[in-house]
Each structure stands twice: as structure tokens, then as C-alpha cells.
Amino acid sequence: MSDTDATLDDLVGRLERAAEQLRSGDLSADAAATVVEDCASLASQASAELDRRAREAEREPLPGQDTLL
């Protein structure tokens, strides 16, 4: 697994755990608001990583393809 795969897996895992906390109903309103803010930050990080990967993929030819000069 590459570092970027591990990064995305970590972000997804953290988002899933946060969703479980929110669904449990055990959090106070303030704690839930903090978890929601954390989710927004995690989602932003994941989005940035996926955008970076998309830009990188656009620069690299697919296996078997020749690059245009």
C-alpha cells in the first residue's frame, strides 16, 4: 500500500468513526458540533488528496500508451 493509499484509508477510517459517534446519540450538542467540524476538515483533506491524484494521473500515460510529443 502506498503512502497516499494509507493517507486516504486513514481519513476514511476517521470519518467512519466520527459518523458512528454522531449516530450513537451519546454526544452533547457541543461535542457533536466539534465532531461535525472535524468531519468537514477531514473531508477537505480527502478531497485535496483525490484532486492531487487526479492531476497526477492526467500527467501520466496509461500503461501501454505512448506520450505525445
- Predicted confidence at residue 1, as pLDDT, reads 66
- What are the structural domain ranges in the chain? 3-53
Cα radius of gyration rounded to whole Å, the chain:
17
What digits encode the pLDDT tens for the residues 12-47? 999 999 999 999 999 999 999 999 999 999 999 999
In angstroms, the Cα distances linking 62 to 8, 43, 52, 56, 65 are 22, 28, 17, 12, 5
pLDDT > 90? residue 56: no
Q: What is the pTM of this model?
A: 0.72
Distance CA 47, CA 57 (A): 15
pLDDT > 90? residue 58: no
Distance CA 29, CA 46 (A): 26
